[in-house]
Amino acid sequence: MSILFKLIVLILCIIGGLFILFILGSFFGSAFMLGYVIKKSTEKKTPEFLLNEKTEMQVKVQEMSRQLEVESDANAEDITNDLDYSYKRWITSVLTGFMNNPDGKKVIAFQRRQRGNSIDCRILAQTLHTRYYFEMNPVETIVEINGKKRGSILSSGDIVTADNRTIGSMLRIGMPAEYSIEFRSGASATIKGSRDNKPFINNIWFERVNHPIPLRRKPKVYRPPYTPYAMVSGYTTLTIEEKEWVIAASILESLVYSFSFTS
């Protein structure tokens, strides 16, 4: 009997030890993976890496642009927060899709790649004849149009051209209903603020699927459908250069703020 008892105790100790090893392995494995993802998402990328990434985005979006449903290039009135997309979250999160104009037709093909948070973000948007590229960092958002640098929107709100002329300002603070672009010529435009408009968000109260409280059973909370709208609500007479900046700013507003990888 004592031998059987000892054997049972030994088996239970082995099972208990394996269970503890499993728990520890799961904990340290998760911690290692989390640390790895954070490290990879925040480490500085080489110029070669960034160039290859930009090329990949151009190839993908150029291929998608064949599905655009308009016969003329996009105007300021065509830019909306009506987006059809797919996405993945990882070290580099990727949002890929189309923007629809107010008539519901595909007017822009785009891809957004983001690491860590929106401060490290690259966007490529292709209209019928124009390619917009944005590179966001804490200091500025660099703007390229058809492969040529047009300038930057500084964190201070100043709009500075590639030849170092400050031609206007656009200061977006918080989550505004709208804000203005004021050009030094006296011209102006009003941009409507967008927001994360996914049909569902992560439920901050979720605990487990069999929780006795219904609210804590749901990993996602579904939201009622929103009504998309045009990003530019009005503008005065603009020069060609100013209109380019208004279109670029409205595309940026839609593709950055209409979707969040973290919600």
pLDDT in tens, 16-41: 767 776 666 655 544 444 344 444 44
Mark the ranges of the chain whose per-residue pLDDT is less than 70: 1-2, 4-7, 9-10, 17, 21-44, 117-118, 200-201, 203-206, 208-209, 215, 217, 221
pLDDT in tens, 140-176: 999 999 999 999 999 999 999 999 999 999 989 989 9
Cα(7)–Cα(50) distance, rounded to whole angstroms?
Answer: 61
Task: Report domain extents, the chain.
Answer: 1-43, 48-257
Predicted local confidence at residue 25, as pLDDT: 61
Under 8 Å between Cβ of 221 and 201: yes
Predicted local confidence at residue 39, as pLDDT: 43
Predicted local confidence at residue 224, as pLDDT: 79
Predicted local confidence at residue 261, as pLDDT: 85
Under 8 Å between Cβ of 115 and 41: yes
Predicted local confidence at residue 225, as pLDDT: 79
> What predicted TM-score, i.e. pTM, was given to this entire model?
0.78
Hey, what long-range contacts does 127-133 have (CB within 8 A, 24 or more apart)?
Answer: 127/65, 127/68, 127/73, 127/74, 128/65, 128/68, 128/70, 128/71, 128/72, 128/73, 128/74, 129/73, 130/73, 130/74, 131/58, 131/61, 132/247, 132/248, 132/251, 133/54
